[in-house]
Chains A and B, each alone.
Chain A
Amino acid sequence: MSKYAPLGGSLITRTTVIAGTLVAIMAGLVLYRFVFGLGAVTHMSNGYPWGLWIVYDVMIGTAFACGGYAMALVVYVFNKGEYHPLVRPALLASMFGYTLGGVSVIFDIGRYWNAWHLVTPGYANPTSVMLEVALCIMAYVLVMWIEFTPVFAEKWANAETKRKINKVLFVFIAVGVLLPTMHQSSLGGMMVAYGYWIHPLWQTDLVPLLYLISALAMGYSIVVFEATLVTSVYKRPSEGHLLASISTYILWLLVAYLVIRWADIAVQGKLGLVATSGRLSVMFLLENLLLGLPVLLLAGAARRAKAQIQFISAVCMLAGAGLYRIDGYLVAYNRPGWHYFPSLGEVMVTVGIIAFEVLAYIVFVKRLPVLHAAASPKDNQRAPHLAATTNK
């Protein structure tokens, strides 16, 4: 018998109705975009040709969706079996995060009817960092749905099928660790070709490394964030001891990130810019404050054991690394004479995508064996306001 069980309960709750409404609004806006063009819905321009949809839905959305990657790395590569209960929910959130990141790209690209060129060797341009990112993300989405098959199998398949799936699953798990290592770093690497358009505090050849480290830390943070919320919303027993040790990974990844970021800036003689870049100095310091605070909070083992500290640290980390991505691609991307701030339509499409993820996550954990069957679920209609804030 599986260690995992569906939560059960009604699918019609205040949370799912709100999420459903937001998804419907998004669908309307997307339809409008396909009929009247990108300019009709977004504030993107020839000066800021990438906006919220790429920077949030892809850059940040997939990094928020690194929980599956981060947990697979510790559980299957570093053999920390005790984290097993956290793998499935993390993988589920990752699956949705990435799948919807991919879907939002279809909303964003202007000539979507040519999208198949990305997977057609005759069109491939091997020097393009974006091609690598696109192929890796597509492959990873596929791999995650395959990694998730045991969950479907437990519900619907017989023992023989389950055994067969489990036998080959290790290949997909390994590929599922390789692919995010490649594309999460390359999401940053795409910035290098932008050259002087990006402020020197963000433009560096080490950006792939900084993106990779921060994406992993975001992966662990989202696991802490999600597990804390699920524990409180669905009144499940705390996984606090596991989250405390996961918080240690966040701590050390953040230390590595901050040391590399600041050492790189110092070595390149850009330290002065930290103070003299006006609005960008403020953004830079805010980013570093959000990423530095978890280091201080998580440094002591006693503090690290507290659920509130874990949660606050995870939220700061996610906000800081999210801001790092927004800054790099939008705020520190400076095209003289041009301005960009997302339109309401752009924001509502992104909100709709997040709502869809929340909705799908709720349906899956209630109907499929995703969460560890540690205790019988009680009163899962409680505190929907908390569930509504669940990102992934």
Chain B
Amino acid sequence: MGLSRRNFLKGAAAGGAVAACAATATAPADARENKALPPKAVGLLYDSTLCVGCKACVVACREANGTHPEFSADEKLWDSPLDISGYTLNVIKVYADGTADHKDQEKDGFAFVKKSCMHCVDPSCVSVCPVSAMQKDPETGIVRHDPSACIGCRYCVAACPFGVPRFSWDTPFPRIRKCELCSPRQAEGKIPACAEVCPTGATLFGPVAALRDEAGRRQGLAAGQVTTFARKTVGSSDVHEKAIPTYVPHIYGSTEMGGTQLLMLAGVPFEKLGYPPLRDRSYAAESETIQESLYKGMVGPVVLLGGLLYAVHKHTKNDHEED
């Protein structure tokens, strides 16, 4: 087909119509807000100042989840996972500075820290999973993973702002693993294994609202004041007495990424413990806002397709004879 001026103008007009359709399709929709905490949400409160680093929780987690020990030295003398992995869902790490003489002190001190799933209120892993293998329970808010649905794409591993879901790289039949707050145990009326065995109540299970109140209570008391700390479950009668430490004035997980169901208290800045400051708006909300503004109800793509069908039909009508 020769390119006459007329044809060119017609082409340009059709192209313009398509461009206009595309522009309509990308008109911004309302921003997707962070998701809200489910009313019956449960979680953990981890108080770094109470933790003695005994790692009973690591052992209990293995037993509850059927994972095997991991070794970080050639001589396999003890279970020594350096981090959570495809086979370790919970670890206690240590922060140490200088002489590491004083517990819960930033300079020349040390502190313990728990690493396991934060059970985000608005989790990225759930938002990004293409096959709904990551699910957030609408009642309890527990973020669970269903390996029978998972295709092993590892988008959750890459996107989680806390780097929690982990993949098993050393097997032809890999899977994603992460803490599921001992959902099967909870179904039997038990509490998560890590909270059950914690001798000091550093890991405490309970409804998120109650955990937030408890964290607030501890922070509201003056350093040095003796008070009671519950073990296992918030509000339980199994308590011990201890003086209030000097807390960092923030409850980690109260706002980060729209909040998490694992809350943390500590005596040294959270950043030193591997928990960086994170903004309030979840990345899931940001990503879904863009996605929705482009694809809400598929209106945009359908309108664009209409324009394209019109233009292409018009411009290929006479092609067959010529080709």
A192 contacts partner chain B, Cβ-Cβ < 8 Å? yes
Are the C-beta atoms of A2 and B323 separated by less than 8 Å? yes
A82 at the interface (CB under 8 A from B): yes
* B 85-118 to A, binary, CB cutoff 8 A, 1 in contact else 0: 1100000000000000000000000000000000
Complex CA–CA separation, A79 to B320 (angstroms): 15
Q: Is the CB of B149 within 8 A of A128?
A: no
State whether the Cβ of A12 lies closer than 8 Å to any Cβ in chain B.
no
Of all chain A residues, the one with the shortest Cβ separation from B18 is A77
For B3-33 the 0/1 string (1 means CB < 8 A from A) is: 1000110111011001000100000000000
How many angstroms from the CA of A174 to the CA of B316 in the assembled complex? 11
Check A110–B315 contact: CB distance below 8 A: no
Whether B316 lies near A193 (C-beta < 8 A) is no
Interface-facing stretch out of B64-72, B227-235, B243-251, B304-312: B304-312
Binding-face segment, B45-53, B210-218, B279-287: B279-287
Query: Which of B15, B163, B283, B315 is in CB contact (< 8 Å) with A335?
Result: B163
Distance, CA A233 to CA B274, complexed state (A): 56
Contact A46 B157, beta carbon cutoff 8 Å: yes
Residue contact B312 to A170, C-beta cutoff 8 Å: yes
Q: Is the interface of A mostly helix, strand, loop or mixed?
A: helix
Partner of B172, one of A34, A109, A162, A170: A34
Q: Which residues of B contact A303 (CB under 8 A)?
A: none
Chain B residues 156 to 189 lying within 8 A of chain A, measured CB to CB, are 157-159, 161, 163, 166-175
The verdict on A37 contacting B169 (CB below 8 Å), with A111-B174, A195-B124, A196-B278 known, is yes
Interface size on A, residues (CB 8 A): 71
**A300 at the B interface (CB under 8 A):** no
- Asked whether any CB of chain B lies closer than 8 Å to the CB of A45, the reply is yes
Find chain A residues with CB under 8 A from B148 CB.
114
| List of B residues within 8 angstroms of A186 by Cβ | 291
Q: Does A161 have its Cβ within 8 Å of any Cβ on chain B?
A: no
* Contact (Cβ within 8 A) A77 B151: no
Asked if residues B130 and A125 are in contact (CB atoms below 8 Å), the reply is: yes
* Known A125-B130, A173-B312; 13 more pairs at CB < 8 Å: A3-B323, A110-B153, A110-B154, A111-B147, A114-B152, A118-B130, A166-B319, A166-B320, A178-B301, A181-B22, A182-B301, A190-B155, A333-B158
Residues of A within 8 A of B60 (CB): none
B131 within 8 A of A: yes
A40 at the interface (CB under 8 A from B): yes
On whether A81 and B3 interact (CB within 8 A), knowing A175-B305, A192-B290, the answer reads yes
In the complex, what residue of chain A is closest to B286 when comparing beta carbons?
A: A192
**Cβ-neighbour of A47 out of B2, B155, B163, B314 (below 8 A):** B163
Q: Are B14 and A194 in contact (CB under 8 A)?
A: no
B167 and A130 form a contact (CB under 8 A): no
Min CB gap A246→B, angstroms: 14
Does any Cβ of B come within 8 Å of A132's Cβ?
yes
Partner of B308, one of A110, A174, A192: A174
A115 at interface, CB cutoff 8 A: yes
- Residues 148-184 of A at the B interface (beta carbon under 8 Å): 150, 162-163, 166, 169-171, 173-175, 177-178, 181-182
Contact B174 A130 (CB under 8 A): no
Residue A127 CB within 8 A of the other chain = yes
Q: Is A278 an interface residue (CB 8 A)?
A: no
B159 interface neighbour in A47, A79, A193, Cβ under 8 Å: A193
Residues B131 and A189 in contact, CB atoms below 8 Å apart: no
Q: Nearest chain B CB to A286's CB is how many angstroms away?
A: 24
A selection of 29 A-B contacts at a CB cut-off of 8 Å is A37-B171, A39-B170, A44-B169, A46-B169, A75-B315, A77-B11, A77-B15, A77-B18, A78-B15, A79-B7, A79-B314, A80-B11, A110-B153, A110-B167, A111-B147, A114-B151, A115-B151, A118-B130, A127-B284, A170-B309, A173-B316, A174-B311, A181-B304, A186-B291, A193-B124, A195-B161, A195-B283, A196-B278, A205-B286
